[in-house]
């Protein structure tokens, strides 16, 4: 990962650790709506590639009432390039998690699950239309991951290995 000042302007804006952190936090909070034990670390790594990619985000938001695995099955275009995208966004996910951890926004449990800390991030979703869409889909993704309940199933359905 290049130092902040050496990154291109576009990368600094698009993958800002604070913004990516908020997206991750919303997914963790969504997960906790269904399963209060917290989101497994390995699932948190899939949040950014699902929420920041516009085509994928649109498919997920348009099918918000559908079951995650069915949505993926009916929309295979979501899987095109997903593994590569997930791999490329990994450093940004780690950086965002570090940012959140530094600010005390989540805790890591003994079994490696990520639990949000109350009153560290505003509950109200604000920002541009695009950033609001990312945050709303992140919450949806978190809830759906909890409903699936099995990390292996989520990874397999997305065509990637943990």
Query: pLDDT, tens digit, for every residue of 42-85?
Result: 999 999 999 999 999 999 989 888 889 999 999 999 999 999 99
Given a cut of 80, whether residue 5 has pLDDT beyond it is no
pLDDT at 148: 92
- What does the angle CA 128 – CA 146 – CA 123 come to, to the nearest 5 degrees? 35
Give the whole-angstrom CA distance, residue 155 versus residue 46.
9
Q: Which residue has the higher pLDDT, 25 or 162?
A: 25
Given a cut of 80, whether residue 162 has pLDDT beyond it is no
Contact criterion met (CB below 8 Å) for 140 and 65? no
pLDDT in tens, 116-156: 988 877 777 877 898 889 999 999 999 999 999 888 899 99
Per mean pLDDT, which range of 5-9, 32-36, 53-57 is the poorest? 5-9
Average pLDDT estimate for 15-41:
93
- Exposed, middle or buried, 3 (CB in 10 Å: 0-12/13-18/19+)? exposed
pLDDT at 108: 93
Residue whose tokens read 């505003």:
122
Average pLDDT estimate for 100-127:
87
Average pLDDT estimate for 94-107:
92
What is the enclosing helix (H) or strand (E) of 156?
helix 151-157
Average pLDDT estimate for 36-47:
94
Average pLDDT estimate for 81-96:
93
Average pLDDT estimate for 76-99:
92
């Amino acid at each position: 990962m290049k130092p902040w000042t050496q990154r291109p302007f576009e990368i600094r804006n698009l993958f800002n650790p604070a913004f990516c952190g908020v997206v991750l936090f919303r997914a963790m909070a969504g997960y906790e709506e269904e399963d209060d034990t917290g989101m497994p670390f390995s699932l948190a790594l899939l949040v950014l590639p699902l929420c920041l990619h516009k085509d994928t985000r649109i498919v997920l938001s348009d099918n918000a009432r559908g079951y995650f695995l069915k949505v993926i099955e009916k929309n295979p275009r979501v899987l095109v390039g997903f593994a590569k995208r997930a791999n490329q966004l990994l450093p940004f996910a780690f950086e965002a998690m570090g940012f959140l951890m530094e600010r005390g926004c989540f805790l890591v449990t003994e079994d490696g699950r990520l639990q949000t800390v109350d009153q560290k991030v505003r509950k109200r979703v604000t920002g541009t239309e695009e950033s609001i869409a990312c945050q709303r889909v992140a919450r949806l993704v978190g809830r759906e991951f909890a409903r699936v309940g099995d990390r292996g199933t989520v990874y397999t359905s997305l065509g990637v290995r943990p």
